Chain A
Amino acid sequence: MKKEILKLRDVKVYFPVKAGVFNRTVGHVMAVDGVDLDIYRGEVLGLAGESGCGKTTLGKAILRLVEPTNGEVTYVSKEDDETELTSLEKKDMDPFRKKLQIVFQDPHSSLNPSFTIFGSLQDPLKKFGVNSKEERRKIIGDLLEAVNMRREYMDRYPHEFSGGQRQRIGIVRALCLDPELIVCDEAVSALDVSIQAQVLQLLMQLKKDNNLTYLFITHDLSVTEYLCDRIAVMYLGRIVELCDSEDLYKNTLHPYSEALISAIPVADLDKKTKRIVLEGDVPSPVNPPKGCPFHPRCPKAKDICKTEVPTLKKYSTNGNEHYASCHLIDLPEIS
C-alpha cells in the first residue's frame, strides 16, 4: 500500500518583475503555476523538464526556501499525521526541516569556502540538539565514510576537494539530520559522466540504507529511466505528464514528453528513432501563451489548443495510473 509523504495542492510560486524608476511591479514570473503532486514514501520521483521550467523553484518551495504564493504543501508523517507546511510560522517549521532536505546542483557554490567541512556542518547539528563536539564529529565522520570518503576530510576546506567529492559532501550535509525526503536538484549534472554514475549509485545505496524518498530533479531524461519509480514532466511551471517511469517511455501520452524522449541519444545504431525537434525557445514564464502553454511549439497543435487550457487528467496505461494534460489523447479518462 502506497502512502504519501508529501502532498502538493495547487502550488504556485510567482516572482514579481520590477521595473522603472520607482521599482514598480510590472508583472510576474510564473515559475511554478499550479502544481498538484503526491510524493509517496520510499519512491524516487523524477521531475524532468527544460531549463527554466521551474523545477528548482518547486523543490525550494517544498522546503520553503522560497515562499509559495499560493497552494498547500502537506507533510504526512509515518504515523499519518498531516501538517500543512506553508501556513506554519518560521519557527514551527523546525521539526519538518529535519525531515526535508536538499542536495544542490552546483558543487562549487554549495560549500562555504571559509569553513572546514566540519565547521560548516556542525551548526545544523548543534541546532538540532547534538550538543557534544565528539558526537558531532562522530556523526559527520560516519556519514563521510558512508559516502566513501575518509573521516579526516572533515577538517579540510572545500577547495581541497574535486567536484565529485564536493557533491558527496553535499549529500552528507543533506543526510546529517536523518531526513525522510531529499530533493536532489540536478545533483549530478555538473559532474563528469563517469563520476555521475558513481554518485548516482551512492544515492541509491543511501536510499536503501536509510529508507529515503527522493524528489529527483533533472533535465536529462536518459538518467531517470533507471532511477525513478515515477516521473513528472514539467513545462512552464506546470506538470504536463506524470506516470510510472516505464510507461513514460513506452506509452508516452504528451507531445512534449515525446519530444524530450526522442532527444535522448541512443547507443543502439540500428534502432532508428525519429527525433522530434522542438522549434523555438521556451516561452517566457512572464507571459505564458494562451490556451495550452505548449501550443506554439507543439507539432500536433490544433485550433482548440490555442484557446483552451488542457487540464491534467487521469488515464490508465498498462494498468497504471497515468496523468497527462493534452486535448488530443484518445484514451478513456478515469475519474
Chain B
Amino acid sequence: MVKTSLDRKFDQIKKREEEKSFSIKKRSRIVSKFLNNRLAVVGLIIFTIIILASLFAPLLSPYDPMRVDLRSMRQAPSFDHWFGTDSTGRDVFTRVLFGGRVSIFIGLGSAILSAVVGIAVGCYAGYKGGWIDVIALRISEIFMSFPQIILVLLLVSITGQSLFNLMAIFILTGWGGMYRLARARMLSLREEEYVQALRSFGLSTFTICYKHMLPNALSPIMVNITLSTAMFILTEAGLSFLGLGVPLNIPTWGNILNVAQDILILQNYWWMWGPVGLVISVFVLCVNFIGDGLRDSTDPSQQG
C-alpha cells in the first residue's frame, strides 16, 4: 500500500500522541494544578522564606536572641535593630527569627506526629473494621472531646511547663481528627476491587493497608497536616501568650507576644508585639493557602 502524504501526517500525529500521552505522569498533573493556583504559590514562597530565615537565623542576625543588653532597652526600630529591642534590650528581629524555629517546629512537628499516630490507627482500624474499629473510634472521641486548655493546665501543674509537654498535648488532642480522616478514606477504599484482588492473594493486612491503600488516602491527610500546622502554631501562640505554653526563657512567637500583656508595652512600644503578631498571621495564612491549593489540586472531583 502506498502511503499518501496525509497518511504520513496521521502517522506522525499518532506517534506524537502516543509518546505524549504516555509521558505525562500523574504527579505532574497535580504539581501543575498547584502551580496554577496563585495564592498557593505565593503562600509557598513566603512559607519557604520564613522557614529558611528561621533556619539560618544566626547568619542573618549578628545578635544573640537571649543576651540582655541594658544599654539598648526599648529602642524603636532602627537600622541596627529592624524590629527594635525589648524591655531587656534584646533584638526583637533576632528573637522573631529564633522564635520561628521553635514555633514552626512545634506546629509542624505536632501536626506530623499526630498524623502518624492517626494514620497508623485509622488505616488499620478502618480496613479491619469490627471491634477494633469500634474501640478506636470511641477512644478518639474521648480524646477529641477533652478540652485542650484543661489538659494543658493539668500537665503544667503536674510536670511543669516544657516544650515536650506542649507537643504531647497537641498530639493527644490532635490525632483524633487525623484518625477519622484516615479511617473514612479506608472505609471507602477497602471495597475497591484492587484491594479485593490483593486479599485474594492472601497478602498480609499490613502490606495491603499501609503499602497499597495508604498512598490513595494521603492527599486529604496532607491537606489536613498543613491546616493543623497553622492551628497548632496559633494555639501555641495563644497558650504562650497566657504564660501556659513553652517556658518563657525559650523564644517562641507566642512568648515574644507575651510582653503585650503589659498595658504599658501594648500602648507605647508597638514594635515589641506588632511585627511578631504580623509574622504569625502571615505564616498561618500562607500555610492555609498551601493547604487550600493542595486540596484543590489533589481533589479528583475537581479535575479539569
Q: Which segment of A155-163, A221-229, A235-243, A278-286 sits at the interface?
A: A155-163
List residues 156-199 of chain B with CB under 8 A from any CB of chain A: 192-194, 196-199
Contact in complex: B196, A104 (CB < 8 Å): yes
A329 to B42, CA, bound (A): 78
Interface residues as binary, A54-95 with B (CB distance below 8 Å gives 1, 0 otherwise): 000000100101000000000000000000000000110110
Q: Which segment of A109-117, A192-200, A266-274 sits at the interface?
A: A109-117
Q: In the complex, what residue of chain B is closest to A179 when comparing beta carbons?
A: B200
Q: Which listed residue (A104, A113, A157, A177) contacts B216, Cβ 8 A?
A: A113
Size of the B side of the interface (Cβ < 8 Å), in residues, is: 20
| Interface: B38 (CB within 8 A) | no
Contact in complex: B202, A101 (CB < 8 Å): no
B193 contacts across to A, CB distance below 8 A: 104-106, 109-110
Contact in complex: A109, B203 (CB < 8 Å): no
B71 contacts across to A, CB distance below 8 A: none
Given contacts A104-B196, A109-B194, A157-B25, is CB(A114)–CB(B215) below 8 Å?
A: yes
A90 to B205, CA, bound (A): 12
A291 to B203, CA, bound (A): 43
Contact in complex: A160, B197 (CB < 8 Å): no
| Shortest beta-carbon distance from B152 to chain A in Å | 34
Tell me which of B22, B26, B193, B199 has the highest count of chain A C-beta atoms within 10 A of its own C-beta. Answer: B193
Q: Which listed residue (A63, A114, A115, A123) contacts B200, Cβ 8 A?
A: A63
Tell me which of B26, B194, B212 has the highest count of chain A C-beta atoms within 10 A of its own C-beta. Answer: B194
| Interface: A102 (CB within 8 A) | yes
A106 to B26, CA, bound (A): 21
Q: How many A-B residue pairs have CB under 8 A?
A: 64
Contact in complex: B26, A110 (CB < 8 Å): no
Interface of chain A, main secondary structure: mixed
A105 contacts across to B, CB distance below 8 A: 193
| Interface: B79 (CB within 8 A) | no
Q: In the complex, what residue of chain A is closest to B215 when comparing beta carbons?
A: A114
Q: Which listed residue (A100, A112, A177) contacts B212, Cβ 8 A?
A: A112
Q: Which listed residue (A63, A111, A124) contacts B203, Cβ 8 A?
A: A124
Interface residues as binary, B215-233 with A (CB distance below 8 Å gives 1, 0 otherwise): 1100000000000000000
Q: Which listed residue (A97, A111, A113, A123) contacts B26, Cβ 8 A?
A: A113
| Interface: B88 (CB within 8 A) | no
| Shortest beta-carbon distance from B297 to chain A in Å | 15
B192 contacts across to A, CB distance below 8 A: 109
Interface residues as binary, A108-140 with B (CB distance below 8 Å gives 1, 0 otherwise): 011111110000100110011000000000000
| Interface: A12 (CB within 8 A) | no
| Interface: B201 (CB within 8 A) | yes
| Interface: B281 (CB within 8 A) | no
Q: In the complex, what residue of chain A is closest to B218 when comparing beta carbons?
A: A114
| Interface: B21 (CB within 8 A) | yes
Contact in complex: B197, A127 (CB < 8 Å): no
A170 contacts across to B, CB distance below 8 A: 197
| Interface: A173 (CB within 8 A) | yes
Contact in complex: B198, A104 (CB < 8 Å): no
Contact in complex: A104, B197 (CB < 8 Å): yes
| Interface: B48 (CB within 8 A) | no
Interface residues as binary, A195-229 with B (CB distance below 8 Å gives 1, 0 otherwise): 00000000000000000000000000000000000
Given contacts A120-B212, A159-B26, is CB(A65)–CB(B196) below 8 Å?
A: yes
| Shortest beta-carbon distance from A202 to chain B in Å | 18
A324 to B201, CA, bound (A): 35
| Interface: B261 (CB within 8 A) | no
| Shortest beta-carbon distance from A92 to chain B in Å | 10
Contact in complex: B200, A97 (CB < 8 Å): yes
| Shortest beta-carbon distance from A43 to chain B in Å | 21
Q: In the complex, what residue of chain B is closest to A93 when comparing beta carbons?
A: B202
Q: Which listed residue (B197, B202, B215) contacts A90, Cβ 8 A?
A: B202
Q: In the complex, what residue of chain B is closest to A110 when comparing beta carbons?
A: B193
Q: Which listed residue (B198, B199, B216) contacts A114, Cβ 8 A?
A: B216
A250 to B287, CA, bound (A): 70
A65 to B192, CA, bound (A): 13
A124 contacts across to B, CB distance below 8 A: 198, 201, 203
A93 contacts across to B, CB distance below 8 A: 202
A327 to B261, CA, bound (A): 90
A58 to B222, CA, bound (A): 39
A110 to B200, CA, bound (A): 13
Contact in complex: A110, B194 (CB < 8 Å): yes
Contact in complex: B201, A157 (CB < 8 Å): no
Contact in complex: B197, A102 (CB < 8 Å): yes
Contact in complex: A65, B199 (CB < 8 Å): yes
Interface residues as binary, A307-327 with B (CB distance below 8 Å gives 1, 0 otherwise): 000000000000000000000
| Shortest beta-carbon distance from B29 to chain A in Å | 9
Contact in complex: A97, B202 (CB < 8 Å): yes
| Interface: B207 (CB within 8 A) | yes
A115 to B22, CA, bound (A): 15
A63 to B104, CA, bound (A): 50
Which 9 A/B pairs are nearest by Cβ-Cβ distance? A114-B215, A124-B201, A104-B193, A110-B193, A97-B202, A109-B192, A112-B194, A109-B193, A63-B200
- Chain A interface residues toward B at CB < 8 A: 60, 63, 65, 90-91, 93-94, 97, 100-102, 104-106, 109-115, 120, 123-124, 127-128, 156-157, 159-160, 170, 173, 177
* A-B contacts, 24 listed (Cβ < 8 Å): A65-B200, A90-B202, A93-B202, A101-B200, A102-B196, A102-B197, A102-B200, A109-B192, A110-B193, A110-B194, A110-B197, A111-B194, A112-B216, A113-B26, A115-B215, A120-B194, A120-B212, A123-B198, A123-B211, A123-B212, A127-B203, A160-B21, A160-B22, A177-B201
Assuming A112-B194, A123-B207, what are 5 further A-B pairs, CB within 8 angstroms? A65-B200, A101-B200, A115-B215, A124-B203, A160-B21
